[in-house]
């Protein structure tokens, strides 16, 4: 990735600063002071005689002791006349001594000292003078060291993320990563699919590279381009490709990096980033996840004067303040354009909105080919089929699929990735990893008939998506999975297709009731999906004759997404009751129809369940063979033929 290349440093970034001359001088002074203290104490101890307690009392009786100092168990004193030192210091005279009192108090000591006129001094047990000095000095040294360490670390952090000086006040600098000309190393050739988006953005890169043809026509460069699309569709990659094609400096930052614990830091960082970009114009500023600071102002819990809104106001001001000669383009990416502030979306700020959709089959094939360039593929790998089996995958999902296949190959010790590994990786991404779960025979039979109900209904309903695979091997959060793959990509759903889709969701529950006389909790996920789809049909798409062609928005907005805390419901309580009745009626009516369909095809249902208990996994061809073997199911004409 471009942001990990050598040399990708923030704007103006230099080497990490070290301690200043004043700090180094203080460190050397403290070190010299401690060395001197310990050296003097060691020298003093070198010329002190270490006496035993008995020898000490003998010296007192011999009138050789002038004075003593009692300090806890330690006794130090001075001889009346200096004596020769040890062999190592024979040329020096020893005048002081030291000894230690016995653990049991000696009642004869004080009378003995008074008898021979020895001067007695008593000190507290606070330690020696250098120890007291150390105790008094260490806390201050720790405080000074803590402040110096915090200052140095903050300075290094700010220098490393925003560049330039500023020391401890460098947090106001921009944290945008700066890429020199050509550094992102990504062009439009590295972006598969997204032809419409690349066509819109190619004008930007052409203008930045050579603005004269556009200026002759009186055209002005757009000040901002908003990239909108689901996660993983390549918004960041496309922004880097624009910078790579234009061959201009590229400033990249996530919108959340503007916000800091200090008030006003976000606005200051915005000013610094735009100032750096203007100095190197033509240039590109890329703000990722702009919705984190660009949400509608005056909504939510933050009020109207929080740090996020100040940062947004500064961005609006900077984008409005561009001079005509400043060729600076702001690219922003978001997957929540509905929560952005209206002032940010108007022409003059983000003049152009580019929508990035999930890749179609042709684009998925191209994306798979790009991500498989460095992966050794076997001859049987069919990327055309893989593209057909990955409907709804984003570019990031496809990259993850190829990586999972390579990991599976490495785990199995294979030298290349074959088609079986690609299909296994796809199942792992879509269905989840296999779970080591032991089911009893009764539970396994229940799961088999549940999934068989889904599979039979999907095979018999004329408008349902084609069946691809059904398994009773626990995967992800499910005990069994029935998978359907659309034979074509739909962007508009007919009412008949939605009815059949609900029918497939209710097939498992209906099968349980038909075979076992009761239902289980295994249909919870199916019921949630069916209820959500039925609610959309009734309240959003006008597919209820009783409600009519009316759309009701209900339960769609949340305060933390930048909307109002309380929304006024745009329909009455009576209408709400009618909506609930229509949803319930739709689901109950559909369940009755599916139950009758399974009852009429009980032979096929039992055959599919037995095959699942025997093989655990059935492919579409296996289901088709079972349908052909059952006279009643085969006699249903074209409705059965679409399932395989």
Buried b or exposed e, range 295-333, using 16+ CB within 10 angstroms? bbbebbeeeeeebbbbbbbbbbebbeebeeeebbbbbbb
Sheet holding 250-254, edge to edge: 177-179, 250-254, 283-288, 328-334, 224-228, 352-355
List of E strands, 418-522: 467-471, 481-484
483 has which bridge partners? 469
Which residues are identified as catalytic?
Answer: 451
Please give the full DSSP string across 11-22, using - where no structure is assigned. Answer: TT--SPP---HH
Q: At 71, is the secondary structure helix, strand, or coil?
A: strand
Q: At 566, is the secondary structure helix, strand, or coil?
A: coil
Does 229 belong to an annotated binding site?
Answer: yes
Non-local (6+) Cβ contacts of 164 within 8 A are 11, 12, 13, 14, 170, 173
Does 105 belong to an annotated binding site?
Answer: no
CA distance 178 to 276: 10
Tokens of residue 487, six digits: 């034979």
Question: How many Cα neighbours within 13 Å face the side chain of 162?
Answer: 27
Does 450 belong to an annotated binding site?
Answer: yes
Does 233 belong to an annotated binding site?
Answer: yes
In this structure, how many other beta carbons lie within 10 angstroms of the beta carbon of residue 30? 14
Does 353 belong to an annotated binding site?
Answer: no
Sign of torsion, CA 212 214 219 223? negative
Q: How many helices (H) and strands (E) does the chain have?
A: 23, 14
- Report the binding-site residues for ATP: 229-236
- Report the binding-site residues: 229-236, 450, 454, 526
- Report the binding-site residues for Zn(2+): 450, 454, 526
């Amino acid at each position: 990735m471009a942001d990990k290349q050598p040399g990708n440093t923030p704007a103006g970034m230099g080497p990490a600063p070290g301690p200043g001359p004043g700090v180094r001088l203080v460190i050397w002074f403290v070190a010299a002071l401690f060395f001197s203290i310990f050296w003097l104490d060691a020298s003093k101890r070198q010329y002190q005689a270490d006496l035993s307690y008995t020898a000490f009392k003998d010296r007192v009786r011999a009138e050789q002791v002038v004075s003593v100092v009692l300090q806890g168990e330690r006794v130090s004193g001075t001889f009346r006349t200096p004596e020769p030192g040890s062999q190592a210091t024979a040329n020096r005279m020893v005048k002081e001594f030291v000894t230690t009192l016995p653990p049991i108090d000696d009642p004869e000591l004080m009378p003995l000292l008074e008898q021979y006129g020895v001067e007695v001094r008593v000190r507290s047990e606070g330690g020696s003078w250098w120890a007291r000095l150390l105790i008094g000095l260490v806390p201050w040294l720790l405080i000074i060291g803590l402040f110096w360490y915090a200052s140095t670390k903050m300075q290094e952090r700010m220098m490393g993320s925003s560049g330039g000086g500023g020391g401890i006040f460098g947090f106001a600098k921009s944290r945008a990563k700066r890429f020199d000309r050509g550094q992102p190393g990504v062009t439009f050739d590295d972006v598969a699919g997204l032809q419409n988006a690349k066509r819109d953005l190619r004008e930007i890169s052409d203008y930045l590279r050579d603005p004269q043809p556009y200026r002759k026509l009186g055209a002005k460069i757009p000040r901002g381009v908003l990239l909108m699309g689901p996660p993983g569709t390549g918004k960041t990659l496309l922004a880097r490709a624009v910078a790579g094609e234009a061959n201009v400096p590229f400033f990249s930052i996530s919108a959340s990096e503007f916000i800091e614990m200090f008030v006003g830091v976000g606005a200051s960082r915005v000013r610094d980033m735009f100032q750096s970009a203007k100095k190197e114009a033509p240039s590109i500023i890329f703000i990722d996840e702009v919705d984190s600071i660009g949400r509608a102002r005056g909504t939510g819990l933050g009020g109207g004067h929080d740090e996020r809104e100040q940062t947004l106001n500064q961005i609006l001001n900077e984008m409005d303040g561009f001079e005509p000669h400043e060729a600076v383009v702001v690219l922003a990416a978001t997957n929540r354009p509905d929560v952005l502030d209206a002032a940010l979306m108007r022409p003059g700020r983000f003049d152009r909105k580019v929508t990035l959709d999930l890749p179609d089959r042709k684009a998925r094939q191209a994306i798979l080919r790009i991500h498989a360039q460095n992966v050794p593929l076997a001859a049987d790998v069919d990327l055309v089929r893989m593209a057909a089996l990955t409907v709804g995958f984003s570019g990031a999902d496809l990259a993850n699929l190829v990586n999972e296949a390579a990991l599976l190959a490495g785990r199995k010790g294979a030298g290349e990735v074959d088609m079986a590994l690609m299909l296994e990786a796809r199942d792992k991404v879509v269905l989840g990893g296999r779970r080591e779960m032991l089911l009893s025979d009764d539970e396994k039979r229940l799961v088999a008939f549940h999934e068989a109900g889904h599979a039979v209904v999907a095979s018999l309903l004329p408008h349902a998506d084609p069946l691809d695979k059904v398994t009773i091997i626990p995967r992800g959060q499910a005990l069994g999975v029935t998978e359907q793959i659309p034979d074509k990509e739909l962007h508009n759903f007919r009412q008949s297709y939605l009815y059949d889709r609900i029918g497939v969701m209710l097939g498992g529950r209906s099968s349980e009731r038909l075979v076992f006389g009761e239902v289980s909790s295994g249909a919870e996920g199916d019921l949630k999906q069916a209820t959500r789809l039925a609610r959309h049909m009734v309240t959003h798409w006008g597919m209820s004759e009783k409600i009519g062609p009316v759309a009701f928005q209900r339960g769609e907005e949340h305060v933390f997404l930048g909307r109002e805390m309380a929304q006024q419901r745009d329909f009455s309580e009576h209408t709400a009751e009618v909506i609930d009745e229509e949803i319930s009626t739709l689901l109950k009516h559909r369940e009755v129809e599916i139950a009758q369909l399974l009852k009429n095809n009980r032979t096929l249902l039992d055959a599919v369940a037995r095959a699942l208990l025997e093989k655990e996994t059935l492919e579409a061809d296996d289901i088709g063979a079972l349908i052909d073997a059952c006279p009643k199911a085969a006699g249903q004409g074209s409705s059965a033929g679409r399932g395989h």
